[in-house]
Structure 1
Amino acid sequence: MKVLDDILSFFALETLDTRLFPPSDLVKRESIKKKVNPKSRWGTLEFKIYLLVFAVFVPLLYKTAMDASNETNPNYPRYERLLSPGWMFGRKVDNSDSQYRFFRDNFPLLVGLIVIHVTLRRVVSPLLGLTKRTQFDFGFGLVFLFGAHGFNVFKVFIHLGINYAIGKYIKSHKVAYYATWIYGISSLFLNDRYRSFKFGVNFVDYGFKGIIERWDVFYNFTLLRMLSFNLDYLERKQALYDSKKEIKEDKLVGLDDRQRLSAPFDIGEYSLFNYVAYLTYTPLFIAGPILTFNDYLYQSNYETLASVKNHKRTFVYGVRFLFCVLVMEFLLHFIYVVAVSKAKAWTGDTPFQISMIGLFNLNIIWLKLLIPWRMFRLWALIDGIDPPENMIRCMDNNYSALAFWRAWHRSFNRFIVRYIYVPMGGGGQNRILNSLLVFSFVAIWHDIELKLLLWGWLVVLFLLPEITATLYFQKYSGKWWFRYLCSVGAVLNIWMMMIANLFGFCLGKDGTTLLLREIFETFDGIKFFVVSSAVLFAATQVMFEMRNSERRKGIDVRC
């Protein structure tokens, strides 16, 4: 049993991030425990049947995905050209996704950069007598930025300068607030149109362009930090104006995660120096996770968090990261669904096979984002900064569209909630409109593409049934059948989420249309839909109980 306990502990939420610990407030912790039946269902006959379903169908999912994408499939010649020589068991590897290929091919370079960065901080800071972490971050960040983008840094600094000027020099709080958002969103469109803009100076226009010439690809994450700095500064400035007095720095000790978001800094801390240090903080520059300016400044100059001092936690987190890398390598060597979707090579496949092409594509998308994010967060942890964990649930461990977005890119979700959703009124009377605007921003932020904007609106459309059903049926939560009714709704949710994401990120319009036609216009498709829905029903019951197990420990992450 100890081995099983160690395995469960290794994959537990608490292993990822101390922000996912039970609340320190005992009253709040006990209120979470009261929401759930204290008796576990894992040992009941019902759940033994569910686990048996898992034991039969999970291997079948892998086999079907392999049948739909490997050498034995008649469509293999159509996508074989997209495969590359691999290193695992003599297999080829599906390295056709350009985004993950960039990370995978540059993995040794990133490891080297981590070693150099962490070593230099420990050597240079004492030698130069640097008293604040931001001093090293400022210098190293500028050097890294030039190495990454070369003379394209001038284009980045134009945006940084305009954003800083908006926040600092527009006197009206309201005008500065709206100008920050208008310019921030407009800059995405400007980059899409004018990213190759020439300055008319030869050594700038045609000189060194850095390791990453496409500077605009990573600008999206820089934009979030730009917005965070301005909005945190404007909030602090307004708070000081309202209170008419400064708050002493002795209150900047022992702040928790939420308190750090609005930490009472001296207004002078919102300086150009700290702004540049924050924006160019190397471990989080390329892809995050997103750490707000206030949180970064607090951890850099005021207090090293206990989670960072616990080196065992960081080591376990690193082992878990390596485990995810190996899982990804296994999938890319044995299941070539990315290449299949790029070649649209699913002619003659069964509805089950097409759905598995889509499902494993979504899992690979999840992993290709999770792995870089965890590597960069691991880098920050080793360096002494603790950003939020971005992925706290496996992609397949989701049944609610609302909860899904709280667990997927969690630091971005926290950013959206803090800076957009709550200021707009949150879940009040305009909840749907607020959600529509939020997902419109999310879609535009990802890419200036109509398909993704439609995806964002489709997600909001699929939120409506869940929101409506939750409001209506909540009064029956004490009934014995409520848990099963929730599973029926969860199954419908999963289908809708899969369709939305398959359309937006995997199969596109053609593949998704074909899948729906195969499912609902053929006998085999209908049979597949019924069996799949029954399996999903069992899966959702297991998901419910997993979350109940967390609540029995006082943990409720609402996803």
Structure 2
Amino acid sequence: MGLKDITSSLSLKSLDSRLDPGTDPKRIQKVSKGATKPRWNTMEFKFYYLMFAIVVPLMINAALSATNERSPNFPRFEPLLSKGWIRGRKVDNSDSQYRFFRDNLPLLVGLVLLHSSLKKAVVGITKCQKATFDLVFGLIFLFAAHGINAIRVLTHVLISFAIAKCFRKRTKLAVLLTWVYGISTLFINNSYWNYPFGNIMSALSPLDTSFKGIIERWDVFYNFTLLRTLSFNMDFLEKWEEVKAGKKTVFASPAPPSKPELKRSTSSTLETICENGKKAVLLEERARLSAPHHIQDYSLSHYIAYITYTPLFIAGPIITFNDYLYQSQQTLPSINRRAIIVYALRFVFCVLTMEAVLHYIYAVAVSKAKAWDGDTPFQISMIGLFNLNIVWLKLLIPWRLFRLWALIDGIDPPENMLRCMNNNFSALAFWRAWHRSFNKWVVRYIYVPLGGSSHRILSSLAVFSFVAIWHDIELKLLLWGWLIVLFLLPEIFAQQVFSGHHKKWWYRFVRSFGAILNIWMMMIANLFGFCLGYDGTVHLIKGIFFTWSGIKFLIGANLALFIATQVMFEQREHEKRKGVNVKC
């Protein structure tokens, strides 16, 4: 494997086929036309490389000195560490969310192999539909994962299904009830996730002592199930309105129906017919979002198969119902052996990177113990930064495993993490690249229906309020969501002011100042919401602005961020020259 193959394997388009411009010269030319000339070999960027070689090791050393055995606060967070496997070192396995995944990783890998081989055998021998297998295996997995609590999950799922079906003739009411009930389930589960069955009916008391599954806290993973229930209802109601109005979809057969298409004809409306009469696969994700499924395909069996689809059940990535059903019947060209092997190798590399970080930088344990007494602002900021990197990795790794599982199974969901957490300078772009499938979901089902860019502030407020509540029923996270919207306003304003100046020589330097401000705001918001909390964030801010060492750190940090943003800009210009523009 040559250098070209390695760089190609690490590119964005190898991460997700949706980003690949393919061989379409018009698409490539359209994107590359606005790209600037390369600056990689200029003296300016050679200076930047030198600064990277000096500053990055200093950052790592500051994190090491504040979070491992060299720290005078080590006795305070040492009890949170566990026995490791790298050179006899202890490992920071104190994050409960990642600990659950890490400890069960061998079991999950075994399940991937079992599910994939069993499905290929059963579908190959019996010729049953893939969705049928997904339904049966999904229900078995649901009860294995949550035991008797699977009844609670199915209750929510069936009530949501009933709302869409019973009120379909009054679509607006069905949409309203779907959202009201869906959001209400988050509050219900938060307070009554373990409500005794015996309190509902004495005859149900034996259920309270029954098998609770491998994952007793079913409510934690229900949040992803909620996204799927909402997706099905919205897709079904959209299709119902289309059928009721007698509209012809872009991909439907040439002859429009004379009355609502309520009964299935002998020919499948799922096929896309080209001008030459040949079938074509819907390569564009947007096309699959409104794939021409028959109204009868929005059935209870397909619904349950989608809800309980095992590879994506625990944590996603999220794929819409229309896209799932289409891909269960049509295999996309992106599903090929080379792409899957490359993706698997990138997953293994990420796991090993996480293990190295957890064995040498105990940032999570320090944050839990609030053991930063006597640390400099530089050290505290590095505790926060590596904490955020661990948050990024602890989400990326499970998502990539589950997406890898889906790819092996023949389903191509969106990649959730496009950019490294450190490779972001725009708050708007950051949210397009972080949990990308969820971002796509909220854009389709919340942002666009509420007016999109024409009502950007209101739509964004609704989006981040839902995102905050969906993550957890905490005032802190709701405030975090509103804080994000507040931090978006300066960037939106700046984009409007400087929209016509992007080709000016000074534009990228002015842009860097705005990017630096964005980075500080995103860092503070996420440190407050996910890492240091109120006490740690206030301690960091006081240390930066009210001490001489903090002011020196602030000046140095801003210079480093200026250099970093210039490299980020150039990387995105480099992608544009290749015809790739992911807008993040």
Partner of 1:243: 246
**Distance in 1 separating the partners of 2:230 and 2:473:** 19
2:572 is the counterpart of 1:547? yes
Compute the displacement of 1:517 (Å).
Answer: 0.2
Cα distance in 1 for partners of 2:307, 2:524 equals 36
Q: What SS is found at the alignment partner of 1:118?
A: helix
CA distance in 2, matches of 1:551, 1:380: 29
Asked if residue 134 in structure 1 is aligned to residue 160 in structure 2, the reply is no
Aligned match of 1:85: 83
18-27 or 475-484, which deviates more: 18-27
- 1:522 counterpart = 2:547: yes
**2:334 counterpart residue number:** 307
Give 1:34 shift. Answer: 1.2
**For residue 342 of structure 1, what is the aligned residue in structure 2?**
368
Q: Which residue of 1 aligns with 2:396?
A: 370
* 2:408 alignment partner AA: I
Select the residue among 196, 221, 225 that pairs with 2:224. Answer: 221
- Mapping of residues 197-346 of structure 1, within 5 Å: 197-200=195-198, 201-244=204-247, 245=257, 246=261, 248-251=269-272, 253-255=280-282, 256-301=284-329, 303-308=330-335, 310-346=336-372
Q: Deviations over 1:338-380 (max 9, x none)?
A: 0000000000000000000000000000000000000000001
Once the 2 structures are TM-superposed, how far is the Cα of residue 5 of structure 1 from its aligned partner? 3.0
SS in 1 for 2:271: helix
Q: Quote the residue 2:192 is aligned against.
A: 194
Residue 122 of structure 1 deviates from its aligned partner by 1.8
Q: Is the 8 A contact 2:67 2:366 kept in 1?
A: yes
AA of the residue aligned to 2:419: R
Distance between the aligned counterparts of 1:470 and 1:248, measured in 2? 43
**C-alpha separation between the residues in 2 aligned to 1:399 and 1:191?**
36
User: 1:8 aligns to what?
Assistant: 7
8 Å contact from structure 2 (residues 196, 205) kept in 1: no
Give the superposition deviation at 1:391: 0.3
Q: Is the 8 A contact 1:23 1:555 kept in 2?
A: no
Query: How far did residue 9 of structure 1 move?
Result: 2.0
1:356 aligns with 2:359: no
What is the match of residue 150 of structure 1? 147
Q: Does 1:169 align with 2:203?
A: no
Query: Quick one: distance in 2 between partners of 1:411 and 1:209?
Result: 30
Is the CA contact (8 Å cut-off) linking 2:426 and 2:518 kept in structure 1?
yes
SS at match of 1:445: helix
Structure 2: gaps spanning 5 or more residues: 199-203, 248-256, 262-267, 274-279
For residue 150 of structure 2, what is the amino acid of its counterpart?
Answer: V
CA contact (8 A) 2:312 2:403 kept: yes
1:197 is displaced (CA, Å) by 1.4
Question: Displacement, 1:15?
Answer: 1.4
Q: Percent identity?
A: 62
Q: Is this contact kept in 2: 1:351–1:528, CA < 8 A? A: yes
The one-letter code sitting in structure 1 at the alignment partner of 2:579 is G
1:243 aligns to what SS in structure 2?
coil
CA distance in structure 2 between the partners assigned to 1:225 and 1:448 by the alignment: 20
Tell me the distance in 2 between the aligned counterparts of 1:540 and 1:555.
Answer: 19
1:490 matched to 2:518? The reply is no
Letter aligned with residue 12 of structure 2 = L
Residue in 2 that maps onto 1:503: 528
Alignment of 1:430-469 (within 5 A): 430-469=455-494
The aligned residue for residue 76 of structure 1 is 74
Whole-Å separation in 1 of the counterparts to 2:49 and 2:211: 57
- Structure 1 length normalisation: TM-score? 0.97
Mapped partners of 1:24, 1:294: distance in 2: 27
Cα distance between partner residues in 1 of 2:411 and 2:184: 31
Residue aligned with 2:38, SS: coil
After TM superposition, the structure 1 stretch with the greater mean CA deviation from structure 2, 340-349 or 203-212, is 203-212
Cα deviation for residue 475 of structure 1 reads: 2.2
Give the Cα–Cα distance (whole angstroms) in 2 for the partners of residues 262 and 24 of structure 1.
Answer: 25
Of 106, 112, 118, the match for 2:110: 112
Structure 1 match to 2:419: 393
Separation in 1, partners of 2:571, 2:125: 50
1:24 Cα shift? 6.0
Q: Is the 8 A contact 1:33 1:552 kept in 2?
A: yes
Give the C-alpha shift of residue 51 in structure 1. 1.2
**Aligned residue number for residue 48 of structure 1:** 46
Residues in 2 aligned to 1:378 and 1:262: alpha-carbon distance in whole angstroms: 25
Per the TM alignment, residue 27 of structure 1 is displaced from its structure 2 partner at its CA by 2.9
Q: Which residue of 2 aligns with 1:32?
A: 31
Conserved? CA contact 2:270–2:291, under 8 Å: no
Measure, in 1, the Cα distance between the counterparts of 2:349 and 2:446.
Answer: 35
Contact 2:21 2:27 in 1 (8 A): no
Q: CA deviation at 1:254?
A: 1.5
Query: How far apart are the structure 1 equivalents of 2:84 and 2:140?
Result: 35
CA displacement at 1:7 relative to structure 2: 3.4
Partner of 1:418: 444
Larger deviation, residues 90-99 vs 202-211: 202-211
- Tell me the distance in 2 between the aligned counterparts of 1:307 and 1:477: 35
Shift of 1:478: 2.4
Between the aligned partners of 2:177 and 2:30, the Cα distance in structure 1 is 42
Counterpart amino acid of 1:152? N
Whole-angstrom distance in 1 between the partners of 2:222 and 2:269: 35
1:35 shift after superposition: 1.1
Letter in 1 for 2:38: S
Partners of 2:334 and 2:431 in 1: how far apart?
Answer: 25
* Superposed CA offset, 1:268-320 (max 9, x none): 0000000000000000000000010000000102x101111x10110010000
Q: Which moved more, 1:145-154 or 1:27-36?
A: 27-36
Structure 1 residue 3, shift from structure 2 partner: 4.5
Residues in 1 aligned to 2:556 and 2:57: alpha-carbon distance in whole angstroms: 16
Q: In 2, distance between residues paired with 1:352 and 1:334?
A: 18
- Per-residue CA distance 1:145-170 (angstroms, 9 max, x = gap): 00000011110111011100011110
Task: Check whether the contact 1:380–1:387 (CA below 8 A) recurs between aligned residues.
Answer: yes
How far is 1:22 from its partner? 1.5
Distance across 2 between alignment mates of 1:28 and 1:114: 37
Output aligned runs, 1:397-408, within 5 Å.
397-408=423-434
Any unmatched runs of 5+ in structure 1? none
Q: How many residues end up aligned between the 2 structures? A: 553
The structure carrying a bigger helix percent of its residues is: 1
> How much does 1:40 deviate?
0.9
| Other-structure match for 1:95 | 93
Specify the SS of the correspondent of 2:583: coil
For residue 175 of structure 1, what is the amino acid of its counterpart? L
Query: Which one is further off, 493-502 or 120-129?
Result: 120-129
- Alpha-carbon distance in 2 for matches of 1:31, 1:196: 55
Runs of 4+ in 1 over 4 A off after TM superposition: none
